[in-house]
Structure 1
């Protein structure tokens, strides 16, 4: 008798399954939206940084990023 009761308790109806899938999909949708918003914020911040004088001065100086002690180019 306990086995029959347990199997009835584990049965998930189509409506319950649909609600669970909608809940999971909405959580993932929120995460995707947050990621997209952060991506655009970082993109705009990067654009602002690229337009600053510090970056232009560094770019015009012609320094090589790879000339450092990590590359054995003392």
Structure 2
């Protein structure tokens, strides 16, 4: 990560950028609760569920399900 310089040689780390949210469309149900193997609970509401872009286990799980497609 690049460092930026402020006054008098002070080095400051830039703030991390938040990961973009990823939405999946449920092709079977409009409302349901999913419990992932690591006990993460996801709620499908209006046929969609949204995960944080940095949730690697959740994204991997959702991308491997044939009943969901990435929006």
Instruction: Give 1 or 2 for the bigger CA radius of gyration.
Output: 1
The alignment's TM-score, normalised by the length of structure 1, stands at: 0.25
Q: Structure 1 or 2: larger strand share?
A: 2
Q: Which has the higher contact order (CA 8 A, sep 6+)?
A: 2
Q: Structure 1 or 2: larger helix share?
A: 1
